[in-house]
Amino acid sequence: MSPWAAFSLAVNLVLGELYANLHSFVVIVSNHAGGDLYRFDLPARSKAEFQLRQILASVNFRTGGDLNDFLHGFLNYQIEHHLWPSWSPRQYQRAQPRVKEICARHGVPYVQQPVWQRLRRLVGVIVGTEEPTLVDTREPDDVLTPAA
């Protein structure tokens, strides 16, 4: 291999790693950060509370369509993934409309926004202009009491 070929290979490997890591960071972290999401100070006390927290602390990107879902690496179904981590991507596709409908029926926020909008909120968290809502879970009768 010539020195130019070796150099080109090294540059392509580094650039590919940088792109893959940046893409993964944006797609994974941005649907777990933002001022519209909740964070909790204590562990959940029941399976129902745990599942509610998964919905309140996660965001879905636009869902639907095999190509769209493939390009997101099926990471656009974070809410469903957090509810059922062992399910297949196809099961997430099927469950998503039902989960969204159940949340609407019970007044539970189901956040679904484009990647770029979530990235803007992530930057807000990084620079300190946004913070997730801290929920004080020390009161046993009130699961979602925002902390003072």
Name the β-bridge partners of 112.
Answer: 60
Indicate whether 148 belongs to any domain.
no
108 within domain boundaries: yes
pLDDT at 64: 87
* Residue range(s) defining the domain that contains residue 84: 3-137
pTM over 0.85: no
* Count of domains forming the chain: 1
pLDDT in tens, 51-107: 999 999 999 999 988 999 998 889 899 999 999 999 999 999 999 999 999 999 999
* Within a domain: 142: no
User: What's the CA gap between 30 and 122, in Å, rounded?
Assistant: 5
Residue 9 C-beta-side C-alpha neighbours within 13 Å? 6
Q: Distance between CA atoms of 57 and 144, rounded to whole angstroms?
A: 12
